[in-house]
Amino acid sequence: MKTKSLISVLLAGGMLMAGCTNSDTNTTVKQETTSIDLQQELDAYKDFALEQMDQFVIETEKFVTAVKNGEVEKAKSIYPLARMYFERSEPIAESFGDLDPRIDARLADLQDEGKGEEDWSGYHKIEYGLWVENTTAGYEAVADQLLKDAKELRARVETVEVTPDLMITGSVDLLNEVSTSKITGEEEIYSHTDLYDFKANIEGAEKIFTILKEKIAAKDPALTEELTDKFATIDNLLAAYEDGNGKFVSYEDLTATDTKALSEAVNQLGEPLSQMGIIME
């Protein structure tokens, strides 16, 4: 997709030939680079990520309290909502290679790396306890560690340098998450709350587009309109699976036709979304 780095694509407005001087022996070419100022957009995205992390810590604390109090149903109700804050800001969260798996790893991920259940921690481990064992007993220490990790992640996000590359590749990565683990139902294999993650990933990608929208529109209004329409299509499809109270139905309730429609909408968004980084050439 890229012949240049996304950073150079966004920050280099173009190489302008300033002039040429000819002599008998040589030709001198002067080049001038103009830059696009994206600092406001980068700051806006970091503010968004910090807001999401603030809420992630607040909701994780509620979740942990419910787990430690043995409130299974309350913990189940908090679980998907708390995770949405993490999923929306995953481009930044995933930049911390040690914390992200401690918070979000599935058992299958660890097994692929040759690790076992003893190495498993975080939200998905507690998900197993809640939906498979229908208990919080024995998960108190896991819950305590989860809250510590969530707070550490929030603190570390303060130190992140947000770049155009992180934002644009992050939006594409969020969509890829949907088209791989979310659309197959393997992310929330015990709770089947995949639609919450699906929605949060789409919202995270859409937020990046919205922040950059003005600069993209200045270069390619047609691309801006196409992305706006395709995000709206996915949002409308997902709205059909809401229950009217801000909750989604179980992913198991979706038919093959439903998942096909969602998959096609994601695929149709993917190509124009990937164009955000190259239309500035």
pLDDT value of position 35: 56
Q: How many CB atoms lie within 10 A of CB 102?
A: 20
pLDDT value of position 22: 41
Per-residue confidence in pLDDT tens, the chain, 281 aa: 333 334 333 333 332 223 333 444 343 333 333 456 789 999 999 999 999 999 999 999 999 999 999 999 999 999 999 999 999 999 998 888 789 999 999 998 889 888 888 889 999 999 999 999 999 999 999 999 999 999 999 999 999 999 988 998 899 889 888 888 788 899 999 999 999 999 999 999 999 999 999 999 999 999 999 999 999 999 999 999 998 787 999 999 999 999 999 999 999 998 899 888 776 55
Domains of the chain, first to last? 6-35 (no CATH), 39-162 (1.20.1420.20), 163-281 (1.20.1420.20)
pTM metric for this prediction = 0.85
Q: Is 12 helix (H, G, I), strand (E, B) or coil?
A: strand
Helix boundaries (H) for 12-122: 39-68, 72-88, 90-93, 99-104, 107-112
Q: Could you give the CA distance from residue 253 to residue 238 in angstroms, rounded to a whole number?
A: 13
Q: Could you give the CA distance from residue 258 to residue 254 in angstroms, rounded to a whole number?
A: 6
